[in-house]
Amino acid sequence: MKIYVTYTKDSFTEKQINDLKRLGEVIFLEDVFNLDNAPYLYDDSEKILAVDPDWYNWDINSNHLSKIKNLKGICLSTTAFDWIDLNYCKDNNIVVTNIPKYSTDSVAEYAIFLMMCLAKKFPIQAKTDYKMDYSKAMLNTEIRNKTAGIIGLGTIGSKIASMCHSLGMQVIYWNRSSKDNNYQRVDLETIFKEADFIFPTFATNNETKQLITDELINKMNGNAVINVINNARELYNHDLLLQRAEKGEISYAFELYGEEKKMYEYQGNIMATAPYAFFTEEAINRLVEIWCENIKSIADDNPQNVVNK
């Protein structure tokens, strides 16, 4: 068996690499490659792919998968799995695994960081070279006694809710089912009408696409802040949020990707960062450890964290 890993070798410990070598030949593909010339396409032996989305532009489709011979399983390096054709994999007996809950604290902390930056008008400070301005336009906001609206009270949403509550905030949430009696469950319209800070933390799938409608976005009050900590732009109208934020009607934080404008190129209280929410030493260590265990589980015909059962 061969194990192809599209990631940097130095992210793995020597022990982890040696453990994988006991399963078969381990081949690290550290440089981004042309998918039509992927080395494993020319290999007929049984194989497991351990794949990172950046090597695939977040899209592993059936056209590419159909060219891979003797593929036993695919171990994703992410919690999200919407970037691979699960139906094709299921129909062709290819096991697909993901990495659950490895970055919960990292992402939740980053969301709180974004909230604080917007509350304290940090983007405007940075864009004006930290010029002292005690006008109403630069008036900051206290967090205590404000309302946090969490959309999706899963693992990350629950962690953000707990952190907001600890800061003295009122927490309301929307979820398909009741999740936590410590917080008030409300409808989406109430979130967008009443929350001072909004955190979309729901899973990306066909059911949630356009869950955040233009009508909801336009219900946000003049002091509202929305923090988006994922790149699932198909879930909401990114351009509308930018337009309202540049007009000074709301504040908006999000992660950049591709060739987007940088933070200082936007008007208004807009916080745009590189996608670092998950990227902490602790989270990456957990990711790699779970990733290795997933690879071993497929090799041993006892797969864990399977997403295409």
Looking at the structure, tell me whether residues 287 and 256 fall in a common domain. no
Distance CA(218)–CA(237), nearest Å, equals: 11
- Residue 104 has phi, psi (to 5 degrees) of -55, -55
Q: CATH number for the domain including 68? A: 3.40.50.720
The pLDDT value recorded for residue 175 is: 93
The pLDDT value recorded for residue 232 is: 61
Q: Is residue 204 part of a domain?
A: yes
Q: Is residue 304 part of a domain?
A: no
Q: Is residue 138 part of a domain?
A: yes
Tens of pLDDT, residue by residue over 257-280, are: 776 788 889 999 999 999 899 999
Looking at the structure, tell me whether residues 198 and 248 fall in a common domain. yes
Distance CA(10)–CA(13), nearest Å, equals: 7
Using CB atoms within 10 Å of the CB of residue 140, give its burial: 0 to 12 exposed, 13 to 18 middle, 19+ buried: exposed
Amino acid at 14: E
Looking at the structure, tell me whether residues 123 and 231 fall in a common domain. yes
The percent of residues in the chain predicted with pLDDT above 70, rounded, is 96
Looking at the structure, tell me whether residues 265 and 212 fall in a common domain. yes
- Residue 50 has phi, psi (to 5 degrees) of -110, 110
Distance CA(32)–CA(46), nearest Å, equals: 23
**Mean per-residue pLDDT for 180-193?**
93
Handedness of CA 25, 31, 34, 35 (dihedral sign): positive
Looking at the structure, tell me whether residues 138 and 167 fall in a common domain. yes
Looking at the structure, tell me whether residues 240 and 210 fall in a common domain. yes
Looking at the structure, tell me whether residues 119 and 258 fall in a common domain. yes
Q: Is residue 94 part of a domain?
A: yes
Looking at the structure, tell me whether residues 112 and 253 fall in a common domain. yes
Q: How far, rounded to the nearest angstrom, does the alpha carbon of residue 122 sit from its chain's CA centroid?
A: 23
Q: Is residue 308 part of a domain?
A: no
Q: Is residue 287 part of a domain?
A: yes
Give yes or no for a contact between 23 and 296, defined as CB atoms under 8 angstroms apart.
Answer: yes
Distance CA(211)–CA(236), nearest Å, equals: 7
Distance CA(284)–CA(77), nearest Å, equals: 10
The pLDDT value recorded for residue 181 is: 85
Q: Is residue 129 part of a domain?
A: yes
Helix H or strand E segment including 76: strand 71-76
Tens of pLDDT, residue by residue over 72-85, are: 999 999 998 989 99
Looking at the structure, tell me whether residues 230 and 84 fall in a common domain. no
Using CB atoms within 10 Å of the CB of residue 284, give its burial: 0 to 12 exposed, 13 to 18 middle, 19+ buried: middle
Relative to beta strand 251-255, strand 225-227 is: parallel
Q: Where are the alpha helices (DSSP H) in the chain?
A: 14-21, 62-65, 86-91, 104-119, 122-127, 155-166, 188-194, 214-217, 238-246, 281-299
Residue predicted with more confidence, 231 or 263: 263
* Beta partners for residue 44, in sequence order: none
- Residue 293 has phi, psi (to 5 degrees) of -65, -35
Looking at the structure, tell me whether residues 264 and 203 fall in a common domain. yes
Looking at the structure, tell me whether residues 137 and 241 fall in a common domain. yes
The count of domains in the chain is 2
- The residues near 54 (Cβ < 8 Å, ≥ 6 apart) are 32
Q: Is residue 309 part of a domain?
A: no
Residue 301 burial (CB count, 10 A): 9
Tens of pLDDT, residue by residue over 154-178, are: 999 999 999 999 999 999 999 988 8
Distance CA(55)–CA(30), nearest Å, equals: 9
> How far is the CA of 301 from the CAs of 79, 196, 216, 304, in angstroms?
21, 49, 47, 10
Range of the domain at 51: 2-102+281-299
Looking at the structure, tell me whether residues 87 and 109 fall in a common domain. no
The pLDDT value recorded for residue 80 is: 87
Judge whether residue 15 has pLDDT over 90.
yes
Distance CA(163)–CA(276), nearest Å, equals: 19
